[in-house]
Amino acid sequence: MNLEFLNPEYFILLAVIPLIILWNFFKRNKINNSISFSNSKAFPNSNNFYSRLKSFLRILRIISLILIIFSLARPQVIDISTRAKLNSGIDIIMSIDVSSSMLAQDLKPNRLDALKIVAERFINNRVSDRIGLVEYAGESYTKTPLTTDKNIVLKSLKEINFSEVIDDGTAIGMGLAISVNRLKDSRAKSKVIILLTDGVNNAGFIDPLTAAELAREFEIKIYSIGIGTNGMANTPISRDINGKFIYGKAKVEIDENLLTNVSEMTGGKYFRATDNESLQEIYSDIDKLEKTEIEELKYYSVNELFRYFLLPAIFLIFLEIILKLTLLRSFI
């Protein structure tokens, strides 16, 4: 709520008020039709009710003039509200590798959990976009279709874990193909796949480059992220008699040439995340690269207040006229 004056230049008229007050002061005897006497002891009650009332009328006149000046300045209370209008939304599929190697502990607490933490922040920042989740290991399936309901996406993200329900392995081509299928009919101005993996394509029956060609055909951009340290990492290598993973040092192998080609074919970019900090920076970079265009619309609600000054001024003028025509009729 803001109080503003549409025509503040009228306030210059307030400079006349002191002049009127001075004029009334120096001309008070003439205005009051006063008669000078050498001795006023014979008139002890000269400052009577009627003389005070006439002075009061002059004050009313000045107040009326001030109120009229304020009404001419057009006081307004302006309530400004804003609303964001989505110009062009972005549809994003996050294709996540959930193979057993994603439990490697080179990122803390492991690759998959580190990814979920960073992805949650990314999703929360994409206020106006539709986001979906695809999981892949030896095969691939849709975890969550495209939706603007962030609560559903975040709930599904938390549920993502390594599972033996799907075959182990790294079917990058399958993950890409399912993601493309989810985006191909989208009418969004921008369509994006964020592909995350920690290995090489060693499962599935779809070649990643073929899936990338499909993505390019449907104008889908692919951002690839290779996750894993350089060198050796503490990785699940076998199981004990209870079925729990036994960890051991294993060489980190990521097909960076493939991921680079897949991304560049579609106008995207390849990133390498070797620790938690670099993974966070990568998602921040993607967030900056794929910004949704939002137009801020402002709505103005204007409440004119001039009447609250003009009506009292009119009332005071009429009051002065009535008093002149009644109580002071014989004295003015």
CATH code of 141's domain? 3.40.50.410
Whether 230 maps to a domain, the answer reads: yes
- pLDDT value, residue 32: 54
Q: Mean per-residue pLDDT for 286-314?
A: 78
What confidence tier does 305 reach under pLDDT thresholds 50, 70, 90? Answer: confident
Q: Assess whether 161 and 204 both reside in one domain.
A: yes
- pLDDT value, residue 331: 47
For the segment 210-219, what is each residue's pLDDT rounded down to a tens digit?
999 999 999 9
CA-to-CA distance for 301 and 298, rounded, in angstroms?
10
For the segment 66-87, what is each residue's pLDDT rounded down to a tens digit?
999 999 988 888 777 666 555 5
Whether 37 maps to a domain, the answer reads: no
Q: Mean per-residue pLDDT for 300-328?
A: 83
DSSP state of 292: P
Q: Assess whether 124 and 16 both reside in one domain.
A: no
Q: What are phi and psi of 74, to 5 degrees?
A: 55, 70
Give me the amino acid identity at 74: R
What confidence tier does 46 reach under pLDDT thresholds 50, 70, 90? Answer: very low
Distances (CA, A) of 42 to 38, 46, 52, 331: 11, 9, 19, 20
For the segment 173-200, what is each residue's pLDDT rounded down to a tens digit?
999 999 999 999 998 889 999 999 998 9
| Number of structural domains the chain divides into | 2
Q: Assess whether 97 and 70 both reside in one domain.
A: no
CA-to-CA distance for 65 and 246, rounded, in angstroms?
92
- pLDDT value, residue 29: 60
Name, in order, each residue with C-beta under 8 angstroms of 328's C-beta and a sequence gap of 6 or more: 50, 53, 54, 57
Is residue 4 within a helix (H) or strand (E), and if so which, with residue range? strand 2-5
Name, in order, each residue with C-beta under 8 angstroms of 324's C-beta and a sequence gap of 6 or more: 57, 332
Average pLDDT score, the chain: 86
Q: Mean per-residue pLDDT for 209-230?
A: 96
Whether 321 maps to a domain, the answer reads: yes
Q: Assess whether 174 and 207 both reside in one domain.
A: yes
Q: Assess whether 280 and 204 both reside in one domain.
A: yes
- Residue 164 tokens read as 């033996």
pTM: 0.64
Q: Assess whether 251 and 235 both reside in one domain.
A: yes
Q: Mean per-residue pLDDT for 105-134?
A: 93
State how far Cα 282 lies from the chain centre.
23
Q: Which domain holds residue 203?
A: 90-291
Whether 43 maps to a domain, the answer reads: no
Beta-strand runs (E) in 173-306:
190-197, 220-227, 232-239, 245-251, 269-273, 293-304
For the segment 248-257, what is each residue's pLDDT rounded down to a tens digit?
999 999 999 9
